[in-house]
Chains A and B, each alone.
Chain A
Amino acid sequence: MLKYTLKRLVNAVIVLFIITTATWFLMQLLPGSPIQNYEKLTPEQRALVDEQYHLDDPRLVQYAVYMTGLLRGDLGDSYLYGGRSVTSIIMERLPISLFLGAQAIIVGLVVGLFLGIMSALKQNSIWDSGAAFLAVLGVSVPDFVLAPLAQYWLGLKLGIFPIAFFESWWHSVLPSLVLSTIIAAVIATFTRTEMLEVLGQDYVTLAKAKGLSRLAVVLRHVLRNSMIPLVTIMLPLTAALVTGTLIVETVFSIPGLGEQFVRSIFEKDFPIIMGTTILYSVFFVASYLLQDILYGIIDPRIRVAGNRE
């Protein structure tokens, strides 16, 4: 197991290195100057700017400077915002996005599990079809449609929630709800399929035959066993959450990392785009790694196959 984990870890580091390098060199190809009015600056000012961002050095030196900085957790300075360090900007905004995401996961998990269990237990009933319909809708209605609609109806028309900004916990409810729909939908579909599979197993019949209450059978035998493959949908859910925060934070003007990323794309603030890209990649690769390791723990057959390779 340790060998397998180490192998995956090395793999993940290589992937991250490749992504970072590729992103860095791609960034050099980007058109347009990020520094406003660079042409109008005096030679002394230009020299200062070049000095701060190492723009005069050869490409490879710049790359080396960036990569060594990266190892120390230094992502360079922003071209805007008075040259603040990218790390401090990210650190300021990341917690807000994480909070929204965590809240969305909790809501999505609860709602999704409820819908999934209900439709599996009442298979082919009206509840089942209703939940299936909701799940298809949840996957198919994108955040960028749902967010403005929710903002309009629940925020503006009914006045239940604040329309935008992030001033209190109450401001985070609507964005989190919008984010949670896709999670709830995916988990509901997934739970239903897995539970139906487990419900047909012999050990469930045995548990029933032993005279266990319906609740005990469902909770202790069916649900626990159907939750195991849940790790396989971690990756797509992480991806959905990241794209989701970009949209939801932009629509609701929430000062999180997603809003900053979208804004920096418009502002051509390359150091921030670069830093956020790296952070998102770390996020993805880490969840990929975690999924593989968890899977190895849960299903020993994969570990064996992995070792043989």
Chain B
Amino acid sequence: METSNRQITFTPDLFEPVQRSPEDVEKITGSPVGFWGDAWRRLKRNRIAIAAGCVIFLVLFLAIVGPWLTPYTSVGQMLSRQYKTPSLSGYWFGTDEFGRSMFDRVWVGTRVSLYIAALVTAMDLFVGMSFGAISGYYGGKVDNIMQRVVEILNGVPILIVAVLTLLIFKPGILSLTIAIGLVGWTSSARLIRGQVLRLKEQEFFLASRSLGAGTFRLITKHLIPNFFYILIITLMYTVPTAVFFEAFLSFIGLGIQPPAASLGALINDGADQMRFYPYMLIFPAAVLVMITVSFRLLGDGLRDALDPRMRQ
């Protein structure tokens, strides 16, 4: 313990003064963090949201490459291999009544469900944003008429529209997308309209307008960047709704038709066979629940990160 006894004598020549002017010392700065950087920092701290994001990536990854991981296909039938129970060495998720590999069917089905959800979300984003922005930006008569349209569409139950659309068109990916997307955009249109109305009254907007900015510039430069984050949050909730509705319509028999698969169609088949082959229901149901739960949790996380005022 001799070191602890050693005395160090501090002499001025051991120190080198930092060259800072008195003004510099007064400054309190960190490196500038932009809006998105700030949001990302907040999101990173939210462990639940990050976990949800990882689950989404995993599901996406498996939906893309999953069917290639096995030597089987989602439609290849083999009657000698009916109802194989799941095992690690053979069929990972078992087989159905035609001997088709459930692992392949589940991920092909997930792919279809997510594909429809992505299309619906894009439609929601595009139509809802344009409609809401135009309605809010022009105001007056235009706004009045457009709002009546939204009001009427809102009064129509989405279920009825979806069922009618699917009765008229042949059930398939495109008709499902139209059916689900047809009424879904009204809520984002209303949201965007509200945002536009709010932003329109603010000083920076007036300033830019006084400087002679045109409509296009005003919308793309001043409006969209300011409400974009709200759109992202809304979209996080649109995806599970779309997945749910697709599954619902497939469940009542109006969705994807066999041999093609979607999560809803698989759950419908699984529910029929559940008494003897519960795994046929459990795997697609688990994937569906994983998707809806993680998108909701990530949505909550993004809401807290992007708009801390909304945090409870």
Contacts and interface: CB of A to CB of B under 8 A. Distances in A.
Contacts of A251: 271
A59 to B, nearest CB: 16
B155 A19 contact: yes
A192 B152 CA distance: 32
A102 B121 CA distance: 33
Interface in A1-57: 11-12, 14-16, 18-19, 23, 26-27, 29-31
A257 to B, nearest CB: 13
Interface in A118-142: 136-137, 139-142
Give the secondary structure class of A's interface.
helix
A266 interface: yes
Given A19-B156, A136-B296, A239-B158, A145 B252 contact: no
Interface in A264-296: 265-266, 273, 277, 280-281, 284-285, 288
B176 to A, nearest CB: 15
A304 to B, nearest CB: 17
Nearest to A235: B154
B278 A152 contact: yes
Interface in B158-197: 158-160, 163-164, 167-168
A255 interface: no
Contacts of B151: 11, 15
B252 A284 contact: no
B152 A281 contact: no
A247 interface: yes
Contacts of B252: 246-247, 250, 262, 265
B301 to A, nearest CB: 12
B289 A145 contact: yes
Nearest to B294: A140
Nearest to B282: A149
A247 B250 CA distance: 11
B159 A280 contact: yes
Contact of B297 (A11, A16, A136, A142): A136
A242 interface: yes
Nearest to A246: B252
A55 to B, nearest CB: 19
B74 interface: no
Contact of B155 (A23, A152, A288): A288
A136 B152 contact: no
B251 A144 contact: yes
Contacts of A15: 151-152, 155-156
A229 interface: no
Contacts of B59: none
A30 B285 contact: no
A156 interface: yes
Nearest to B244: A142
A149 B275 CA distance: 10
B90 interface: no
A152 B168 contact: no
A251 B253 CA distance: 13
A142 B247 contact: yes
Interface of B: 151-152, 154-160, 163-164, 167-168, 240, 244, 247-248, 251-254, 264, 267-268, 270-271, 274-275, 278, 281, 285, 288-289, 292-293, 296-297, 312
